[in-house]
Amino acid sequence: MMNVVLIDKFDGEYALRLNIKTRSLYKRFIKEFFMAIGKSYEEVTSRDIRNWLIDLEKEGLAASSRNTRLCGIKLFYRFLREEGLVEKDNSERIPLSKVEEELPYYLEPGQLIELRRVLKKLDDRAIIETLYSTGVRISELIAMKKEDINWPERSIHIPEGKRKKARIVLFTKECEIHLKAYLDSRQDDMPSVFVGRYANTKVGVAIIQRRFREYADQLGIRLTPHTLRHTFAAHLANKGMPLECIQTLLGHEELKQTRHYARLYEHARKNVYDEWT
């Protein structure tokens, strides 16, 4: 019972330091930990925590997921020390598991062709082409306004990307064709480039994600809006575009933010080399 009271107090203490989603996850993981251990907070040892992590690994939980749970436990015990409720933090010296970085997943040209083949709705095709052609994030796509499009230059002004940094993205002739066809089919006065089915509000993230899941199931591939961002970067790398240019188009402020894209870039460039050797 005391554990539950302290967990609620911990949650309140970090209300202004963590976002609500992170706090909710940590609270759930901490409760799960104490239920699994069957001890009060002051009785828990380092061995208990290590054994719990081993059990999670045996259950098939990924290293990144185990690390998230351990971070929650570490933060909770830091809170207990700050409150003077424990003298020693038995989680302090337990290291996070090493996470093997996966290469960002992207569509091969043939998969992109198949995806285009099954797209029947004008709005879906316009969304797919815009995401693939520009490499924008889904939040940026939803925020696009008609006035942001420069048709003669085939470019779109992204006024507030991640970290509020504006940039210009380009789109292809094929994207122009499908984007114009979609916009010309509309009979509303909404300023948003993409709207919901009833054309009185901009399209929502959940709706786009649901459509992507439907196409993924139909084709038997992995497909999310972010998949097309990876595909955008990989295909430009295949065509020989320098990583620094791809970085700018993706809206990354520093090259280190493009680290996993750098691995994707090297992978894509190696594929080109292998085709010629």
Evaluate if residue 276 carries a pLDDT over 90: no
Query: Helix, strand, or coil here: 201?
Result: coil
pLDDT (tens digit per residue) in 213-248: 999 999 999 999 999 998 998 888 878 788 778 888
Gap between the Cα atoms of 167 and 158, Å rounded: 5
pLDDT (tens digit per residue) in 65-97: 899 999 999 999 999 999 999 888 999 889 998
- Domains of the chain plus CATH, in order, are 2-82 (1.10.150), 109-275 (1.10.443.10)
Beta-carbon contacts of 39 under 8 Å, excluding residues fewer than 6 positions away, are 48
What whole-number percentage of the chain has pLDDT above 90? 52
Closest residue by Cα to residue 105 from 238, 273, 221: 221
Average pLDDT over residues 146-172: 86
How many residues comprise the chain? 277
**Are 41 and 78 a contacting pair, CB within 8 Å?**
no
**pLDDT band at residue 125 using 50, 70 and 90 as cut-offs:** very high
Distances (CA, A) of 25 to 8, 11, 18, 50, 180: 13, 10, 11, 20, 43
**pLDDT band at residue 250 using 50, 70 and 90 as cut-offs:** confident
Tell me the one-letter amino acid at 230.
Answer: H
Evaluate if residue 1 carries a pLDDT over 70: no
Gap between the Cα atoms of 144 and 26, Å rounded: 34
**Are 92 and 81 a contacting pair, CB within 8 Å?**
no
